[in-house]
A = this chain, B = another copy of it.
Amino acid sequence: MALEHAILVSLLEQPGSGYELSRRFERSIGHFWTATHQQIYRVLRRMEHEGRLAVRTVPQHGRPDKNEYSVTASGRTALAHWLHEPIEPESLRHDLAVKIRGAAFDEPAALIDEVARHHRAHHERLARYLAGELRDFTGPDAPTPLDPGRELQHVVLRGGIAFERMTIAWLDDVLATLHRLSAASDTAPPARDEG
């Protein structure tokens, strides 16, 4: 399970509280791993208990105290160990693909709006990623000498961008297919009586 490791990576990049981590999981880390705050708090406590993390209460002015976590030597070792362990290439889990195959047993046209909505969502995500890339890596305000850590962050972000672009192109294909099928069911042999 990688949530634990994603947390180690994020806290090595920058120590922070559970709340801050859950923010990060909505942004950068969240590009390839999601987690809710409940899950994060639970795992943080467990990892602190196991000695992978150290916690320190930071008083703040006009805000509740926060528990700032950082990675211990033991946590670093655990991460290094995991990095050297082979993992299985993962397969995606794509609800939408299930729906598309399911549409054969319903009215394909009914899926068009849903697919179009996903198309828009991926467009928005792509725009956000591209803005982030410009801001942090390729834009004029980005720190010029990229250290290894930032190079690696960038290549991961490029993966996210490639994924969104591929998805958008595929959803275009899906939409064209659905339109074709619903046009065919309007003219040719009427399979049902709603045509």
Contact = CB atoms under 8 A, between A and B. Distances in A.
Nearest to A86: B114
A94 interface: yes
User: Does more than half of chain A's interface fall in helix, strand or loop, or is it mixed?
Assistant: helix
- Copies of this protein, total: 2
Interface in A1-46: 2, 5-6, 8-9, 12-13, 30-34
A194 interface: no
Nearest to A95: B2
A93 B33 CA distance: 5
Contact of A177 (B6, B8, B87, B155): B155
- In which size bucket is the chain A interface? 35 or more
Interface stretch (A59-67, A76-84, A131-139): A76-84
Contact of A92 (B32, B105, B170): B32
Contact of A110 (B83, B103, B185): B83
Interface of A: 2, 5-6, 8-9, 12-13, 30-34, 76, 79-80, 82-84, 86-87, 89-106, 108, 110-111, 114, 117-118, 121-122, 125, 148-149, 151-153, 155-156, 158-159, 162-163, 165-166, 169-170, 173-174, 177, 180-181, 184-185, 191
17 contacts: A2-B98, A12-B102, A13-B104, A33-B97, A82-B99, A90-B94, A94-B159, A97-B156, A100-B152, A105-B149, A108-B152, A148-B184, A148-B191, A155-B177, A159-B170, A162-B166, A163-B170
